[in-house]
Structure 1
């Protein structure tokens, strides 16, 4: 399978003899490989594998380690995410491990699949024999290595720093790694595995906790919180608090010390362009363009209106000519003549003529008074449409009686329409008159008129609002109703009066016999209860219409007027419409405050993320008790050299916090010294490289022949000695 990577391939593989071991630090986070005796590994990459498909060809490729996002945009990664061969620092996915080893040997410079060099590979403390057996099987049968040795990474780091005086022969090695944390006691330079402790907490959980906290705090920037960026923020800004509770109270109070400890990550932000006001030339140019556009629209509207008028005039002349021809046609030939024209009767032609005339007058823009006079003339001219209405029924045949009923219906409908039209016309004239008079009053004294309109609007608004509150809450118009509102309180005055009358009649009837209706006065109750007496809503409609007119009038004459929100029965006070705010530089800032020490605190209190296990200080005390419960001298030697290694030991304040936590578990006066590795990340590989460069290293390995002869039982008893 083809590989995608940014790691440069080594070219000096053939210069090393087959006796030179290859050193592999197989960590859960990073994979490091190089030659024994060197101080730096040759190849370092993330210990993950991803196998996406190409979007165009569909070919599956293998992406190992740190991938280039510019290349991955051509691949479909939705169904294949990054996968690790580890589960709680134990290798269990050997298919993925084979991809990683293929890539590592290829980057080291190996030309074929066979590796003729001894291998020293690291593993976790007390690695299960099944995982060790599968790893040996993979190295022996797939790559054909001559011999293999397994060692603990933390032990190699301890021995490497022991040679440089950082720690002593007797001590504790604490390794907070990527997914697990181990505590290994050393006696006379050798690890004592019966005193080891382990907890499933590490740097992965710290990064994941920080990612979740920032995602909850800034959900609109969640896409920017990638794993790599959160890892960088963790290593750059996080620290271990000397006292977690005290540090949290500092940030809760918002003291000056907390502000000094707060860090800010500025996301990319481009300020919006500042719009300058247009110049006078630009305003004049836009006004000229707008005027030309308006003139063109007016010309188009005028041309369309002229075309419409010509069309209606031609149609009107045609209908008049048709009526003239129809008058000259004899009675017997009318039906045949009408069948050629498409009309059914003479009344239909006259009705169409009336409609065309009205449309023509409307198109020409005649005044409403002229239209009304023309309509009256048209109505008087069509009075002879119903000749059978005034004829007695005994003088008509059955067919004529049916026609008379139809003419009566048509005349009644027409008269109703005319009355409604006349009423609308009179109302419009009244409105125009009122508007004209109102405008005259405004022109006489604009300031006084505006003040009067504002006062009137306020009074009408309060009146309408009060009426709607009464409908909702009954008599509690002032809003002081503290209890529940019953059905009777939600009724208006007329409805409450009807309920009172019903209650009174029922109460009187319950006193004796049911004699309601015996007296004429009893039937007056129905008149009192009639809905016709409920004219409470009529005034409400008039007030709302008046309020709408005053509001529209104020909006027309006062540019500063803002109408109040319309009150509703279910919601008297409406919420303000949210305004759109432009994003500023502060909106693209990620502030790291309490998260700086809250995330790494899970190393001492794993229960903060729901893991019910011990912290670093408790694990240290448990490991000391397992070995030195009855030997105070050994206890003092162990606590005098507490060694920190692993990526999480780089957190500032970790040594001081661990020393304070262990001191609380030991007797007063116990010697305690906590030291950190020279390089907590690479010292494990350097220690393994120095160990493999020793001439006695071959005695600590087992060959491929021994593996085939002794099998898995020999691997179970295999244990590397770190003192050569």
Structure 2
């Protein structure tokens, strides 16, 4: 089952979740304008050509009719052998179109005229212009200090290819500022690839005092993506740039006091509260649910298969036992013939008809086999096996009364008797140990029932002692990793002393290796365990088992002992900050088998860290001042009267001006660098709308003014002066 959006699997989306769609492609196309509905008269076509978004429409509209991502995909469709051109989010239609996605901008500079032509073709068709020529004046935005070749390339396209009657260019942030009808102010643009600060004095942009910061939404989104990749190196899917931009713009916000809020996030609770979970699309395996009858039938089938397997194994065991019994009877019959044959013939027959070399080996095998068959038969019948005390008749007889064969048998019986006595001793020791442990358990049980407080305190003390030993062992192990530590130096001295023990001696000619006797004593081998740490690993396992037993009993019988008091609980609380940072401090444990959890990114510190780069570019290695510092420097560069007027209209626009808390952040940054208690007014839009549309709306309003009509470069002027000809106006770049 394909899940395009995890939100679709639940009727109510989870709080603090951001759901990313698998694709931004909309199968419902936007209809083109009807040519009959086009406005008459002196109406301009306004185009805001941004490095992220393309917005276009008629100047009489309240909002742009075309508002799309500024990306283009051109490719040849293999199925129908057609050349296709997709614009905007339509490039996500399929894998082929996505792989052919291209941008007309390199950074914030327009460099690909062929892609600009594709965007213009799409725009004019959407605006209902079906003829070979465009009969409306065109107003288009450009970047601050736009190079001449870029403007010349655009003018050549509009005049030569589309036959536009006139063209006008202007700076996007100044167009947005023009809406406020204020002669003095500061136009701040937070664009996709760069941010600019332009002062406006007496209704005209002072570009000589303008500043540009090489940081925008594209770099910030990429930083957000790289921080997420660093945080989750094993993320299962590749995150596209479009998804990264969406993820950033849905989660980030400006902190009014970055350092103070960063210190507050040292609390895991606050870190968890600010976490946003970004859920990416995922695919789950389709699970076929079976009915109760099918489950019961499957269980019955498994039982029958298990019973059939058990019967088969029992039959095989019985056959092996019968074959072993038949072989035993055959060898017993051979033993019975011993009295009727000569000893030499008897021994010859044993060597020829059996795999044994001597009579003693045959008798030993018969004895072992009889014991084995008897034990297996009792096990099949369910009887408890009781080992009978064996007899050793030759052990007590003196060697003078025995022949050579009997002496060999006596040695064998002596070894067997020693083994028997050792086994009996071990069983008795185990029995006594079991009785001792049972006595201790009973005593502890009585203590738990009658004095539970003392019992709990005793077990808690044992738990602390075990934890202290484990921590000390872990500390020692960490010290051994540092060759300069005291523990590592002591270990090296032990190895060196072992290597240098005893002076080296020269071997004489023909003399073999001299045995120093190492290894004859079991204590000699302890040195390798001491050097290799085998004793430490065994002690670690014993401590873990003891700790598990202690904590299990305390959890069962001590109501004041909770999961947080266990070693795992302590480590969980200790790592709560890490857990809150990586997993958002979720109450549910992370399940690596959960596909949905594996496709989640938990963003918390990144939400304020990434936007802060606009005001502290040094965080990412940029050698430039921040946006607030640059704006303050530009304002302080004017005289007091001019500065007061400029401070009354600071306009922050652009796509990234939608980041929450941008106005308070800008205000808190400017107040310390400006005169004390100086009045300050910062806005992001004229009518409370979307700041990213302010440039287009300001351009549409300005294009209807007399100033705009005078600033138009007509076709006749283009033919006479060339593509680099430009008329100066208040909101545009100055002519060369």
TM-based fold match above 0.5: yes
2:708 equivalent among 676, 697, 703: 697
Q: Structure 2 matches for 1:577-616, cutoff 5 A?
A: 583=594, 590-616=601-627
Q: 1:693 to 1:37 in 2, by over 3 A?
A: farther
- TM-score w.r.t. the length of structure 1 is 0.62
Q: Deviations over 1:261-281 (max 9, x none)?
A: 4444566899999999989x9
Work out the CA distance in 2 between the residues paired with 1:218 and 1:79: 25
1:681 aligns with 2:619: no
Moved more, 612-621 or 572-581: 572-581
Distance 2:351 2:716 in 1: 115
Give how far 1:638 is off. Answer: 1.6
Structure 2 SS opposite 1:252 = coil
2:303 corresponds in structure 1 to 290
Which of 693, 704, 719 pairs up with 2:728?
719
Gaps of 5+ in 1: 163-167, 306-361, 382-389, 391-409, 460-479, 492-498, 518-522, 541-566
Task: Say whether the 8 Å CA contact 2:648–2:680 is kept in structure 1.
Answer: yes
Kindly indicate whether the alpha-carbon contact (under 8 Å) linking 1:263 and 1:592 is maintained by their aligned counterparts in 2: yes
User: Which of 96, 120, 135 does residue 76 from structure 1 map onto?
Assistant: 96
* CA deviations over 1:108-130 (Å, ceiling 9, x no partner): 12213421221111111211111
Stretch moving more, 93-102 or 288-297: 288-297
Q: Secondary structure at the match of 1:23?
A: strand
Q: 1:64, CA displacement in angstroms?
A: 0.8
User: Could you tell me which residue of structure 2 aligns to residue 211 of structure 1?
Assistant: 225
* Pairing of 1:224-623 with structure 2 (within 5 A): 225-254=239-268, 260-265=273-278, 286-287=299-300, 290-291=303-304, 294=307, 366-372=322-328, 374=330, 417-419=355-357, 422=362, 439-441=384-386, 452=430, 482-484=490-492, 486=494, 503=502, 572=538, 583=594, 590-623=601-634
In the other structure, the counterpart of 1:177 is: 191
Contact 1:21 1:119 in 2 (8 A): yes
Give the number of equivalent residue pairs.
549
Structure 2 counterpart of 1:7: 30
Confirm or deny: 8 A CA contact 1:13 1:108 kept in the other structure.
Answer: no
- The answer on 1:662 being equivalent to 2:670 is yes
C-alpha distance after superposition, 1:453-478 (max 9, x if no partner): 8969x99xxxxxxxxxxxxxxxxxxx
1:367-394: CA deviation from partner (whole Å, max 9, x where unpaired): 425325547989999xxxxxxxx9xxxx
Q: CA deviation at 1:84?
A: 1.6
In 2, Cα distance between the equivalents of 1:454 and 1:188? 104
Structure 2 runs not aligned, ≥5 long:
1-25, 338-344, 389-425, 438-486, 527-532, 546-567, 569-589
Give the CA deviation at 1:654: 1.7
Conserved 8 A contact 2:45-2:59: yes
Q: Secondary structure at the match of 1:242?
A: coil
Deviation at 1:60, TM superposition (A): 4.9
Question: Considering only CA atoms, is the larger Rg found in Structure 1 or Structure 2?
Answer: 1
For 1:11-160, list aligned pairs within 5 A. Answer: 11-12=34-35, 15-17=38-40, 19-52=42-75, 54=77, 56=79, 60-67=83-90, 69=92, 71-72=93-94, 75-77=95-97, 79-80=99-100, 82-160=101-179
Distance, in Å, in 1 between the alignment partners of 2:627 and 2:432 is: 75
Distance 1:713 1:55, change over 3 A: closer
Q: Deviations over 1:21-79 (max 9, x none)?
A: 2111111121111112222222111111123554645655322101274x41xx42574
Pair 1:429–1:223, CA change in 2 (3 A): same
How far apart are residue 95 of structure 1 and its match? Answer: 1.6
User: 1: CA distance between counterparts of 2:322 and 2:273?
Assistant: 81
Alpha-carbon distance between aligned partners in 2 of 1:187 and 1:427, rounded to the nearest angstrom: 112
Q: CA deviation at 1:252?
A: 1.5
Task: Identify the match of residue 637 of structure 1 among 631, 639, 645.
Answer: 645
Tell me what 2:462 maps to.
none
Distance in 2 of aligned mates of 1:218 and 1:454: 56
Residues of 1 paired with 2:707 and 2:289: CA distance? 78
Change in CA separation of 1:200 and 1:377 when aligned onto 2, cut-off 3 Å: same
TM-score using structure 2 length: 0.61
Q: What's the CA shift for 1:260?
A: 4.7
Deviations 1:628-661 (A, max 9, x none): 2xx3211222223222111222222222222222
CA contact 2:51–2:70 (8 Å) conserved in 1:
yes
Q: Distance in 2 between matches of 1:299 and 1:650?
A: 75
Structure 2: distance between partners of 1:181 and 1:34: 25
Change (3 A) 1:424 1:66: farther
**Equivalent pair of 1:175/1:646 in contact (CA under 8 Å):** yes
Secondary structure at the aligned position of 1:622 is classed as helix
Aligned equivalents of 2:42, 2:217: Cα separation in 1: 37
Q: Deviations over 1:597-618 (max 9, x none)?
A: 1111111112222322221112
Asked if 2 retains the 8 angstrom alpha-carbon contact of 1:185 and 1:195, the reply is yes
Moved more, 236-245 or 692-701: 692-701
**Matches of 1:668 and 1:173 in 2, distance apart?**
22
> Could you say which residue in structure 1 is the equivalent of 2:657?
649
1:275–1:144 distance in 2 versus 1, CA, 3 Å? closer
The equivalent residue for 2:203 is 189
Alignment partners' CA distance in 2, 1:584 and 1:83: 33
RMSD of equivalent CA atoms: 5.4
